[in-house]
Amino acid sequence: MNAIEIRNLSKSFRGMYAVDHLNMTVPQGAIYGFIGENGSGKSTTEKLICGHLVPDGGDIKLFGRDYTDPGVRVRVGALIENAGCFPGSSVYQNLMMQCINLGIENADEEIRRVLEIVRMDDNANLKFKSCSLGMKQRIGIAMALLGDPALLILDEPINGLDTDGMRIMREILVDITKKYGCTVLISSHILGELEKIATHYGIIRQGKMIMELTASEMDSRAQVFTSLKCMDMQGAKAALCKQYTDVREEEGYIRIYDVDDTASIVDYLMKNDHVVSEIRKNKIGLEEYYIELMSKKEAE
Amino acid sequence: MNKTHEIKFESPTFARRIKGMLGVDFYRLFHTPLFYIFLVIAAIIPAMVSAMTMMPDQNGNQITLYSNVWQIIAASKSLNVIEGIADYANMNMVFIFGGIMVSIFIGHDYKSGYVKQLFTTHAKKQDYMISKSLVCAFAMACMCITYFIGGTVAGLLVGYETDVNIGSLIIAILGKIIMSLGWASLYTFLNVIFRRYFGISVASSFFFGTGILIIGAAAIVEGLGLPTSFLNIFLYGASVNANLSSGIGSLLVCIVVSVAWAVIYNVAGTKLLNNCDVY
């Protein structure tokens, strides 16, 4: 079963489409990386799924049910833009309110559980307004985790976090999908981080879904290249151009694209009397793939 | 990829949903200073109004706003539109402060972003309207009680007469407490309309709370040759009509008018939330 299935979803503001006949499929148990530029419609789509915005048209199904079904919505946790907590109340009070809202019995135990997951067990009595940005984001995740959610919708949860904060957030997300079987829809600009956890990707541009693919499909599409340095860079490049189709000089390196066998490159250069001083094998990551895809779309 | 877990979905009943929403709102009401501040304001205002009557005017005469302690609570005779400031400077003032309190209470939902949590987990918008209306009505009813205490103590200290028909006094107080539901629903509705504009929410609540619109309604009623008691179908009319000479009929009018307007405003607010973006 798919956790989210969207067909022809549209939403406009003052006649401009923010989401334009969007189709989206998020399989159950996936960590779905939702990628797009600023204003591409990511947050609007997430708000539509959460029922915060009224769609102009289209169909949203969550676990095979209409998204307005109270039974399914009570199992959705969301962190959209901010944690949605009262600044003057403590972390504990904010979480308690959400427990009451969801009708959770043993609220104390549940609050302890989620605070432990987000590594904030010692900060329950802290006022929300005195928490750091990273802590606020984690409290937002804790709020979303209350009541055993089947689906988590996280809008830019790693924005503004430092390296350590990002690592903790990454571990939390992987943990909750593994332990609780939760499906996660996560939008982020920090593609390098997303790449480490996502099992599926959806790329949105100008309100339209331009591509959906799994992490393994992304891997197979990602270009492999070898970077090297030689004593005689020009001579080596000229020699390599005779043997390989895509040879470029970039960032002080000679790069040979779409050749997996590094040994054969070294062998070829040695036969042509070129000494290799540095060599490494690279792979184009999600970020480079995304930039390339966007520039292709721009050109169309 | 992780293995797929079998997930079961149980639709929460209306009672369970509303219990959750009411629980949150009551928790917030009792755990934030706003409610207590307004309870104190409701107690202080009648004392301040009573103290004002102790001061002489520019000719050296003492202002005679009230002659009886209980006029601080309600007008002495049946009214449909106020005739003097004293007719309004009674427990009806709670409906003005109450409006401001409701605006701040609901405004914080939007300002903090907590409303997103509520609407993510509550697909039915009626839950929100009902819960806010009931909790704010409770808060305004509590304000009526502290107003009663503050007004009575101040009136006794000033030395006003205490003669009153106890039955009518109780009816007047109960009538105004019951009217809190209608007023709270009106303010909830106004705050849903102006949810993105906190200042306008507060101003509109104040504007409607003063009952200015009843003047227009009174003119229409007079123009149509209808009896002035017709004004009792409005929140303001029924609130003013609960007075120190009221009988059980006035109380029934308060119940019917308050509940009817509460239903109207809740239905309208739900419809609005269902058809508009919630923030």
Residues B108, A86: contact at Cβ < 8 Å?
yes
pLDDT at A295: 78
Residue B1 confidence (pLDDT) above 50: no
Indicate yes or no: pTM above 0.90.
no
Domain(s) of CATH 3.40.50.300: residues in chain A: 2-213
C-alpha A195: how far from chain center: 7
Could you tell me what percentage of chain B is helix, strand and coil, using 3-state DSSP and rounding each to the nearest 5? 70, 0, 25
From the CA of A5, how many Å to the nearest CA of chain B? Answer: 16
Cβ–Cβ of A69/B11 closer than 8 Å? yes
Using one digit for the tens of pLDDT, what is the confidence trace for B9-59?
888 999 999 999 999 999 999 998 999 999 999 999 988 888 777 677 677
Residue type, A117: I
Using one digit for the tens of pLDDT, what is the confidence trace for A150-204?
999 999 888 767 788 788 888 888 888 888 789 999 998 888 888 889 999 999 9
Greatest Cα-to-Cα distance within chain B, rounded to the nearest angstrom: 88
Cα distance between residue B158 and residue A268, in whole Å:
108
Three-state secondary structure along chain A? CEEEEEEEEEEEECCEEEEEEEEEEEECCCEEEEEECCCCCHHHHHHHHCCCCCCCEEEEEECCEECCCHHHHCCEEEECCCCCCCCCCEHHHHHHHHHHHHCCCCHHHHHHHHHHHCCCCCCCCCEHHHCCHHHHHHHHHHHHHCCCCCEEEEECCCCCCCHHHHHHHHHHHHHHHHHHCCEEEEECCCHHHHHHHCCEEEEEECCEEEEEEEHHHHHHHCCEEEEEEECCHHHHHHHHHHHCCCEEEECCEEEEECCCCHHHHHHHHHHCCCCEEEEEEEECCHHHHHHHHHHHHHHC
Band of the pLDDT at B86, cuts 50, 70, 90?
low
Percent of chain B surpassing pLDDT 90:
59
Three-state SS at B178: helix
| Contacts A143 to B, Cβ<8 Å | 117
Residue A95 confidence (pLDDT) above 90: yes
CB pairs under 8 A between A and B: 131
Cα distance between residue B57 and residue B63, in whole Å:
6
Cβ–Cβ of A65/B27 closer than 8 Å? no
A250 forms beta bridges with A253
- Extents of the domains making up chain B: 14-54+84-275
Band of the pLDDT at B82, cuts 50, 70, 90?
low
pLDDT at A284: 77
Residue B2 confidence (pLDDT) above 50: no
Residue type, A4: I
| Contacts B113 to A, Cβ<8 Å | 81-85
Q: Dihedrals φ, ψ of A57, to 5°?
A: -170, 170
Facing residue for A199 by CB, picked from B1, B116, B120: B1
| Contacts B31 to A, Cβ<8 Å | 89, 93
Domain(s) of CATH 3.30.70: residues in chain A: 223-283
Residues B169, B119: contact at Cβ < 8 Å?
no
Residue type, A33: G
Cβ–Cβ of B4/A28 closer than 8 Å? yes
Instruction: Please choose, from the candidates B73, B20, B37, the residue with its C-alpha nearest in 3D space to the C-alpha of residue A98.
Output: B20
ipTM: 0.85
Facing residue for B277 by CB, picked from A53, A88, A147: A53
Instruction: Please choose, from the candidates B203, B184, B183, the residue with its C-alpha nearest in 3D space to the C-alpha of residue B131.
Output: B184
Identify the weakest region by mean pLDDT among A27-31, A132-136, B4-8. Answer: B4-8
- Domain covering A2-213 in this structure, CATH number: 3.40.50.300
In the CATH scheme, what architecture does the domain A223-283 have? 2-Layer Sandwich (3.30)
Cβ–Cβ of A29/B118 closer than 8 Å? no
Cβ–Cβ of B4/A181 closer than 8 Å? yes
Residues A150, A182: contact at Cβ < 8 Å?
yes
| Contacts B270 to A, Cβ<8 Å | none
Cα distance between residue B98 and residue B104, in whole Å:
10
Residue B84 confidence (pLDDT) above 70: no
Cβ–Cβ of B2/A1 closer than 8 Å? no
Residue tagged 């000479």 (tokens) = B245
Chain A contact probe: residue of B34, B114, B115, B135 with most A CBs at under 10 A: B114
Cα distance between residue B179 and residue B49, in whole Å:
22
Using one digit for the tens of pLDDT, what is the confidence trace for B163-220?
889 999 999 999 999 999 999 999 999 999 999 899 999 999 999 988 778 778 888 8
From the CA of A101, how many Å to the nearest CA of chain B? Answer: 4
Residue tagged 């629980």 (tokens) = B23
pLDDT at B274: 93
Facing residue for A70 by CB, picked from B5, B115, B124: B124
Is residue B44 packed enough to be buried (19+ CB in 10 Å), middle (13-18) or exposed (0-12)? Answer: middle
- Per the prediction, chain B carries an average pLDDT of 88
Q: Which residue of B has its CA nearest to A144?
A: B117
Using one digit for the tens of pLDDT, what is the confidence trace for B252-269?
999 999 999 999 999 999
pLDDT at B3: 47
| Contacts A103 to B, Cβ<8 Å | 12, 16, 19-20, 23
Residue A106 confidence (pLDDT) above 50: yes
